[in-house]
Structure 1
Amino acid sequence: MLDKSEFTYIGKLAKPHGVSGETAIRLIPEVAESEFDPTFIFLYIDNGLVPFRVSEFRYKGEDVLLVKLPLLKTEKEIRKLMNTDIYISPQEVSVPSASTNNINAFNGFKAIDINEGELGIIDSIQDISGNPLFIINGKKGELLIPVAEEFIVNIDEEKKTIELDIPEGLLDLNEE
């Protein structure tokens, strides 16, 4: 049986598209800017990954991938699988590197302050009126740290760490 932890979650099967047998996949934000070259996609059906060969694919906007799957030909077959989780082999997706232009790429990174040490893991990014915040869960509970280029000292994509120089007093604002 295929282990889904070895695959990359990319989104959900959305709906049939057009009359030529295409299926729309709604991509999650973390992979929407990625480049795909799928030979197979894997649908999570009955607690297991089921491979479906991709005969054609194309993009429709930033967050929708249209695929032709020879095994799913009719609208009825596709509709039965709507909202099914979709996975892809990690070798068939090129995720953009972590940068402040793609802050969602930092999800799962360990945040380390150069003065305070390890803060925790970045759970998500909350964008409040164009002022994004790292949501970090760690020893001190949930921390909200502004995503600011001047706070970032180093990014190690291999180790999945981001080193920060957080201004004095900012961490104190997170304490109750």
Structure 2
Amino acid sequence: MRKEDCFYLGKIAKKFSFKGEVLIYLDTDEPEIYENLESVFVEFNSKNLIPFFIENSNLHKNDFLRVRFEDVNNEEEADEIIGCEVYLPLKMLPKLTGNKFYYHEVIGFEIEDKRLGVFGKIVAINDSSAQPLFEVLNGEVEILIPMIDHFLVKIDRDNKKVIMDLPEGLVEMYL
């Protein structure tokens, strides 16, 4: 499985028992939908995704999934996977509707302002700052648009467009 075909679910945070159980921190608003997984992909050496099959699992203190993997039978074997990131195939993401969207879903969408019309294509999402930003390409010019619910009018999945009502001057200052 390629990392591009997966989404980040969380990280193996710590050991839980001397029998090799681990706690996976789930980076999600709905941890309960991941309680009965058959398997996950664990990233080794920042490049290889290895399938790990789950013997049993249950939620632990809201954000953690207590997991017993097949073939991880003791503390030493559990130590080898502590800190590793955990992924699932994109097809396992719950479908979002309306103006809710996954960041990867809108890459390649055109971005349109109610006043200016289409002014570029979303090439990336920058979520490293306090406010996530759409990185938009207009020819050779990169435009950064804050992802603010108040500005968002519609996610038009059929026409691959993000329609916004942006403050006057925000886009123009880049052009």
Same fold, judged at TM 0.5 (above) = yes
User: Is residue 119–residue 136 contact of structure 1 (8 Å, CA) maintained in 2?
Assistant: no
- Structure 1 unpaired stretches of 5+: none
Match of 1:81 in 2: 81
In structure 2, do the counterparts of structure 1 residues 40 and 98 end up closer, same or farther at CA, with 3 Å as the change threshold?
A: farther
User: Is residue 99–residue 154 contact of structure 2 (8 Å, CA) maintained in 1?
Assistant: no
Cα deviations by residue, 1:120-168 (Å, 9 ceiling, x for unpaired) = 425134674xxx453424233241425033x222113466642112132
Q: Distance in 1 between matches of 2:7 and 2:157?
A: 17
Equivalent residue runs for 1:75-154 within 5 Å: 75-94=75-94, 96-97=96-97, 99=99, 105-106=102-103, 109=106, 110=109, 112-114=111-113, 115-121=116-122, 122-125=124-127, 128=130, 132-139=131-138, 140-145=141-146, 147-149=148-150, 151-154=151-154
Which amino acid is 2:146 matched to?
A: I
Q: Percent identity?
A: 20
- Structure 2 unpaired stretches of 5+: none
Q: Distance in 1 between matches of 2:41 and 2:153?
A: 38
Aligned Cα root-mean-square deviation (Å): 3.2
In structure 2, do the counterparts of structure 1 residues 6 and 15 end up closer, same or farther at CA, with 3 Å as the change threshold?
A: same
Q: Distance in 1 between matches of 2:58 and 2:159?
A: 33
Number of residues paired by the alignment?
Answer: 164
TM-score by length of 2: 0.70
In structure 2, do the counterparts of structure 1 residues 159 and 78 end up closer, same or farther at CA, with 3 Å as the change threshold?
A: farther
Match of 2:171 in 1: 171
